[in-house]
Amino acid sequence: MFDKIAAHPEGISAARLAEQHSWSPSYTARLLDAQASFGLLKKTLGPDNIGIYHITETGKYMVSDFQGSFDGIFTIFSKRVMKSMSDIPDLIKSGEEGYKAQWVSSQLQTDGSADKQGPKDQQPLAEPKMPEGCQEKCAAGCMKSGMKERRMYQIMEALMYPYRDDIVRAFDLSGFKTVVDIGGGTGFLSYNLSRTYPDMKVTLMELPKAIKAAKEQFQPPDFDKLNVSYLEGNCLKDPIPDASLYVFCKVVHYFEEKKIEELMRKLHEKLPSGGAIMLIEDLLSPMRVGQPPANCFDLLKMTEKAGQNRTIEEYGSILERCGFAKFKCIRSNEESVYDMMMAIKD
């Protein structure tokens, strides 16, 4: 709907929009009025007192090709997340073993045609093929090729978009000259780090599919001015380049505690004195209650079998066991799901 209105920067009436797409004129008008009531559209009076609708600054976030668009997030919430949540009763009754992780499996097995064919609700969900208990593969699996993959990446960028400055400026990172952004998706954070700290050399280390998408589909127009390079690799298996700072944004929640500990221990050995790890996650509050978005995302991860959220104390204790003497954390505000933790090697 918003894409179609955006195609008319001069504004469009409900009747004309309905006519163009063979929609019901009266229902279209009622929907547009409701959207205008939320400030997503502005309604002005045109010739003959006909209502003309324009997209507002806020409404732009509903247009699918606007950078930071929420379109993918809304789609995934309405089509998948709500479905996952309705699976929770089965999950708690049957436990991990009996549960079919439909959300992930349906992501994995869709070749993208569903995005083009319309009513996804009516398409049967495929049987899961996800290896049981293999959390890191969930992430790799979501990177399956096709439209779905691009949509997943767009969602990651859109989630971070409003908070990009808060994330890169939470700690003063100007002293770190070599940074590896591990599991950095399309490189959105790497590019923002490089823009904010021009002396910083950033390596985006990701699984091969993600690197391909980053290079081919998500490179920003100012890429040539940035100091960002790409490296294909699995951080749990492949060598990780030397650096003074390793950043993991929304990555380690996929991994079991044992794997995180092995990885952090390895990085602690590699780091020079004063080097650091920055973990960005949506943290649970003490006693694991709140903030509400963190608990909701934790439930989502439970239904996806894709890891779990943890508290500051849990991450602090893992990092301490791995030898990091200093640990600090900046909690986000209530709406954001990006909490920043920094562990420094003495």
Ligand X SMILES: C[S@@+](CC[C@H](N)C(=O)[O-])C[C@H]1O[C@@H](n2cnc3c(N)ncnc32)[C@H](O)[C@@H]1O
Site for ligand X in 185-224 (CB under 6 A): 185, 189, 206-207, 210
Within 121-160, the residues that bind ligand X by CB under 6 A are: 136, 139, 143, 156, 160
Residue 63 binds ligand X, judged by CB under 6 A: no
Q: Is 21 a catalytic residue?
A: no
Distance CA 238, CA 228 (A): 20
Tell me if 337 contacts ligand X by CB under 6 A.
Answer: no
CB of 142: closest distance to ligand X in angstroms? 7
Residue type present at position 271: L
Among 184, 305, 315, 337, binds ligand X (CB under 6 A): 184
Strands 178-182 and 41-45: unpaired
User: Would you say 214 and 206 are in contact if contact means Cβ atoms under 8 Å apart?
Assistant: yes
Structure tokens that stand for 282 in this block? 């949506």
Q: Does 51 bind ligand X (CB under 6 A)?
A: no
Which CB, 7 or 236, lies closer to ligand X?
A: 236
Q: Which is nearer to ligand X, 66 or 254 (CB)?
A: 254
Closest-by-Cβ residue to ligand X is: 183
Binding residue for ligand X (CB under 6 A) from 43, 148, 164, 250? 250
Q: Which residue has the tokens 């890429």?
A: 223
Among 64, 75, 123, 234, binds ligand X (CB under 6 A): 234
- In the structure, how many helices (H) and strands (E) does the chain have? 16, 10
**Alpha-carbon gap, residue 262 to 280, rounded angstroms:** 18
Q: Considering only 11-19, 25-33, 71-79, 243-251, which stretch makes contact with ligand X by CB under 6 A?
A: 243-251
Give the 3-state DSSP-derived string for 121-146, with helices as H, strands as E and coil as C.
HHCCCCCCCCCCCCHHHHHHHCCCCC
DSSP characters over 41-106: EEEEE-GGG-EEEEE-TTGGGGSTTSTT-SHHHHHHIIIIIHHHHHTHHHHHHHHHHH---HHHHH
Contact status, residue 178 vs residue 193, Cβ threshold 8 Å? no
Exactly one of 8, 21, 54, 253 is catalytic; name it: 253
Q: Mark the segment that binds ligand X (CB under 6 A) among 103-111, 112-120, 218-226, 245-253.
A: 245-253
Catalytic residues: 253
Binding site residues, ligand X, CB under 6 A: 136, 139, 143, 156, 160, 182-185, 189, 206-207, 210, 234-236, 249-251, 254
